[in-house]
Structure formats: structure tokens, C-alpha cells
Amino acid sequence: MRVTVCCGTCLENEEKLAKTARAIGNALAKNHIELVYCAPLAGLMREIVKGVFEKEGAVTGIYPSGSFAEDLPPIVTGSSTYTEFYTDTREEQTQQLLEMSDAYLVLPGGFGTLEELSSVCTFLTLGPLPGKPIGVLVNEGLKDGLKPLLTMFEAWAELPETLFFLSDVESLIQRLAAKGSGKECLAG
């Protein structure tokens, strides 16, 4: 199973959020879920990748050609797996992210994170990705303001079964895994 993580690349004195990001990476690897991402390896994303590698999990990076070259992960040791894909445009990159993943996880971020969430929601409601779950981590860095914002859009009515908000990392990862695989979930 693969999960695309949408999050910010800046950590401004967010030590607790960095620990949460590392815990997410650990939980993904522990549950045999491959991380898929498309950002520079900085901030929250760096911590998530470190967490996955700590538990010898799998990571796939999708980059527009020529972008983020200096930010790619260090050489992976142990039984961790790292794969890179390159695309010609940002649009192709987004398409790859959407198609490659079984579920999506949203953490605090900026406009890029919001754009990625919007693309996923658009493809779920209008395109070829019905039923893929989207989990949003609600904590110190991502307050409850996102849910009221999303409810302003008409398409919200089409997402309640696939879009969910949780504050507990383990429950969030388990629910993504269960919904992404089509199995029942006891958590969350």
C-alpha cells in the first residue's frame, strides 16, 4: 500500500510537530505502507522520511526534472527502499501522485499543501479516483479551521466517507490503511 503525504517543508520552531512527523514515518513503515511524496526534503517531510527510514520502510519521491536535486534523501542503508521518479511538469508530478497512491495524508503546510489537497479532492469527486481515503492530522499545527473551509464547497457532500480528521497518529495511519485496502477498521 502507498500513501501520499501532503505537508509543509518549513519547520519554524515546531519541535512537537517534528516529533509527530517522525512518528508518522515510523507508523507508515511499521504498517508496511510506502511513503510517496513530491516536495523538497525539508521540514516536516524530512522528518517523515527519517521516520520511515528508521523503521526500514519504503519511500518514493516524485520530482519535476531538475527540481529538488540538492534535497534528495541520503543513501539509504539497511533494508529501506528509496525510489525516484522524474516528470517533465508539475502537472505530471501531481498526476503521478494521485494515481500511484492508495490513500492520502494531509499535515500542516502552506499553499502547496492546500493545492495538493484540492487536487486530490477534485480527482475524488470528478475524476478516476473514487473511494481513496484522505486523512487529515488535526493537531497543534493544523487546527480545526480546514474542515469549515472545505464544507463551504458544494463537493463536500461527496467526501464524508473518504475524508476524515483525526488527532492520533496511530489511529490515523490504521484508518488510512484499512480504508485504502478496503478492509474494516477498528481504530478511529
- For the chain, what are the domain ranges? 2-181
Tell me which of 3.40.50.620, 3.40.50.970, 3.40.50.450, 1.10.472.10 is the CATH number of domain 2-181. 3.40.50.450
Whole-number Å distance between alpha carbons of 116 and 156? 16
- Work out the percent of the chain whose per-residue pLDDT is above 70: 70
* Helix or strand holding residue 109 (H, E): none
Are the C-beta atoms of 113 and 107 separated by less than 8 Å? yes
* Helix or strand holding residue 187 (H, E): none
Query: 94 or 35, which is more confident?
Result: 35
pTM of the model: 0.81
The mean of the pLDDT values for the chain is 77
Confidence of residue 153 (pLDDT cuts 50, 70, 90): low
